[in-house]
Structure 1
Amino acid sequence: MVTTPATADFDNLPAWLSHLESLHPKDIELGLERVQSVYNQLALNFSSSKVILIAGTNGKGTSCHLMQQILTAHGYSVGCYNSPHISDYRERVTLNTDWFSEQQHCQAFAAIEQARGETPLTYFEFGTLAAIYLLAQAKPDFILLEVGLGGRLDATNIVEPDLSVITTIDLDHQDWLGTNREVIGFEKAGIFRTKGLAVCGDLNPPDTVKQQALEKQLNIVWQQQDFHYQVEADTWSWQGQKSEFNHCIKPNMPLQNASTVLACFEQLNIRLNTDTVNQCFKSFQLAGRWQQIAHSPNVIIDVAHNPESIRFMREKLNQTQCSGKKIAVFGMLKDKDIKTVVESIKDSFELWLLADINQPRGAKATDLAEYLPKNAQVECFGSIEQAYQAAQQQASADDLIVVFGSFWVITDILTD
């Protein structure tokens, strides 16, 4: 059992992160045996916290942050783990929206290094264990854990949740999770616990999720069955089994996910103040989600990288006034559903500036171009930075530049 952090082999965060990258030959290796063995060595105590485990194809990050914001506004202390980060690794772990210090991260990494012994861990597994360590030490009222990939075999699933949440289920990470919603739904449902509390926010959940809920005798509520939302002209309303919110401000996120968040609070018997919730809706903004970073020309960044998130981005794009032309700066990972993503958004831009993502999983700009119509105006670049510079050079003040397709794309823009 580890009771105190080991003496750090490295005295700064970049050195630790470089170490993490060198530990395992793969970026992803699904399975809980190795992570579970290290976690058991840590002997962490979560008795002071309610743990909420959040899985889903889309909406995990926005749901986590909205939940954290609402809980914090009601006076609760809230720890949150999300991935990936955009500009700074410390974005991944927060306490009441504040980052932990570099020193605290280094201490957590040292604790995991001591506990793992010779056990190999991927970058994500090591970081997840360190995040869980930090949050367990902080002992907040609530701990929100965003599942990284799938659910059943994801490193976050080693923690026993008080509430399991599935936001949405769509095609993504098909090389790892499967090529249809039934198989992917089974993986997401791996975060359910026998006779536990759960929320499913998907509008049409696969039969595999329903079956898992039945077999595990869940106390579960379903979107459109046990809770509902209605979209009005400038507002929206929500009805649950015990409470309702009428004529609310629309937050900058899919209302389907905001509806799921409200259902989570009802499942946990948390009473909310309507004015406080509305203020949270009004101020909600998550970095990299339809975020404006410049004017004249307007520049929007969005990490959207799968069909569902692209559909939401397309809706926002259609609602955005633009008297000039719309320019896409676009890159994707090659293991994503590039064909469906491009098909959903191909008619929304007059100019496509495509970029290589210079990572092992990155797609080439020339490969992306194959999915666009033959008559589309397309230019290809060797990097995101080059494509973005070209957009700025070619755009006039009344144009709109939208940079999207991957966390890697947004990271390159914000750190340029």
Structure 2
Amino acid sequence: MTPTPPRTLPEWLAHCERLHPHTIALGLERVAEVARRLALRFDAPVITVAGTNGKGSTCALLEAIALQAGYRTGVYTSPHLVHFEERCRVRGEAVTAEALLPHFERVEAVRGDVALTYFEFTTLAILDLLAHAALDVVILEVGLGGRLDAVNVVDADCAIITSIDLDHTELLGPDREHIGREKAGILRTGRAAIVSDPLPPQSVIDHAREIGADLWLVGRDLHYGGDRQQWQWRGRSRQYGGLPYPALRGANQLVNAAGVLAAFEALRARLPVPAQAIRNGLAMVALPGRFQLVPGTPALVLDVAHNPHAVAALAENLDAMGFFPTTHAVFGAMADKDVSAMFARIAPLVDRWYFCDLPTARAASAAELQARWQAQFPVAPQTVSTHATPSAALQAALAAADPADRIVVFGSFFTVGGVLHEGLPRLSAKHV
């Protein structure tokens, strides 16, 4: 019997999970071949964003400013927090499942016997949608690495490399220099290469020079600084003063915003952006799960910090919040993450831990996280518990917390997404 073809988005996603024996299979040959069969091309300028941390925020800032300038935007980011459709936004809105279906069908129709991973298939479907959406600018977030990531099948007009640190070392290399070389694979000859990391690996600079990319570096081609109220930015030929700080919280967002303004200067001939659009975009940008403060008591922070560098930024932002009698942490992570380094950085700020299982085979179990924490801090107070889901862990934290306390939900996208998927719970009676 011929299997019934998928008809709904969940059916297509299940189909994509069955096509390739591996979750991750780096390499562009298969994706490039299917893209060729799709005749995939973009008439609008394309900005590609790679890096260890700050990619999602950078894409959100690019989108917000471009929307304020009146441009029709298309954005691809991954992973999603709650719904797959979040991965693709057109003109500021997440696409519908129905809008995606024809593009899944097109990929399936042309791929023949090419075995694509889930990420490769879904990336091609979203790229195909964006290519047919009559856009003014396309913003693409690289999933993993850069050189061999499926998104790199597109030759971007401008590439941004955000902060680089250790993550996915088993695939990308053991240090920042190796990882930087992989990220630099998104750069193109003669096209803008914006490096917003203030201390980039030398491998990024070397590769940009080897291929003749138009390299922009912090301190040479772009400069920024500010006081408590506002900040200023200067590029090669433009400068802006009196800028509002990005609405995305955290000191690290200024690094991302500086790279974004450089990208707009580099593309000004095709994508001119007035100063007021920059100010409005900075003030109005929003992105769930990035040091997101949920109104109410106790204080609730959601952050997808899932590697040591991101957790260090989270810790700095938590420090800046002021005093809380007790900080409760809900945490879940993938098994391949350097949780010891994450614990070391944030442990001084956390009084009680609520470890949770996550709905993916790649995740460390709550019991494993507890064992690793207790091995690292054997003389610390045993204020640790394990829970079956992120939502259950948050409920336990809420039950234990006083109104003046703070709860931090962080780690994998599955951790924050699990909390958001269930809906943020009502505060218990003692918090009302």
TM-score bucket of the superposed structures, by smaller chain: over 0.9
SS in 2 for 1:221: strand
Normalising by structure 1, we get a TM-score of 0.94
Structure 2: distance between partners of 1:202 and 1:52: 17
Segments of 5+ residues of structure 2 without an aligned counterpart are 423-432
Aligned counterpart, 1:287: 288
**Structure 2 SS opposite 1:114:** helix
- Counterpart in the other structure of 1:93: 88
User: Tell me, what secondary structure is at the counterpart of 1:344?
Assistant: helix
* Deviation of the 1:323 alpha carbon: 4.1
Asked whether the 8 Å contact 1:328–1:353 carries over to 2, the reply is yes
Contact 2:64 2:282 in 1 (8 A): no
- Per the alignment, residue 336 of structure 1 pairs with 337
Correspondence for 2:71 among 66, 69, 76: 76
Report if the CA contact (8 A) 1:322-1:398 is conserved.
no
Report the Cα distance in structure 1 between the residues aligned to 2:219 and 2:91, rounded to whole angstroms: 31
- In the TM superposition, what is the alpha-carbon distance from 1:395 to its structure 2 partner? 1.2
1:23 and 2:19 matched: yes
**1:208 equivalent in alignment to 2:203:** yes
Whether the 8 Å contact between 2:192 and 2:263 is mirrored in structure 1 is: no
Residue 257 in 1 paired to residue 256 in 2?
yes
Q: Quick check: 323-332 or 212-221, which moved more?
A: 323-332
1:392 aligns with 2:392: no
Which residue is equivalent to 1:35?
31
Greater shift, 370-379 or 131-140, is seen at 370-379
Equivalent AA in structure 1 for residue 266 of structure 2: Q
**How many pairs does the alignment contain?**
408
> What are the Cα deviations for residues 97-131 of structure 1, in whole angstroms up to 9, with x where unaligned?
11222222111100000111111111100010001
Deviation for aligned residue 1:322: 4.7
Question: Any unmatched runs of 5+ in structure 1?
Answer: 1-7
Letter of the aligned partner of 1:234 in structure 2?
Answer: Q
1:64 Cα shift? 0.7
3-state SS of paired residue (1:9): coil
Distance 2:153 2:385 in 1: 45
Please, which moves more after superposition, 232-241 or 206-215? 232-241
Supply the distance in 2 between the matched residues of 1:285 and 1:324 (Cα, whole angstroms).
29
Aligned pairs for 1:104-183 within 5 A: 104-183=99-178
Taking structure 2 as the reference length, what is the TM-score of the superposition?
Answer: 0.91
SS of aligned partner of 1:121: coil
Residue 373 of structure 1, aligned match among 374, 377, 393: 377
User: Is 1:356 matched with 2:357?
Assistant: yes
- The aligned residue for residue 4 of structure 1 is none
2:167 touches 2:337 (CA, 8 Å); kept in 1? yes
State the one-letter code of the partner of 2:220.
Q
> Letter of the aligned partner of 1:411 in structure 2?
G
Superposed CA offset, 1:26-78 (max 9, x none) = 111101111111111001231x2101111111111111111011011101111
Q: Write the distance in 1 (CA, Å) between the matches of 2:41 and 2:318.
A: 45
Q: Does 1:188 align with 2:192?
A: no
Counterpart in the other structure of 2:6:
10
Aligned-residue sequence identity (percent) comes to: 39
Three-state SS of the structure 1 residue aligned to 2:198 is coil
Distance, in Å, in 2 between the alignment partners of 1:100 and 1:275 is 28
Shift of 1:271: 4.0
Q: Which stretch of structure 1 is more off in the superposition, 29-38 or 237-246?
A: 237-246
Q: Report the AA paired with residue 24 of structure 2.
A: I
Amino acid at match of 2:104: F
CA RMSD of aligned residues (A): 1.6
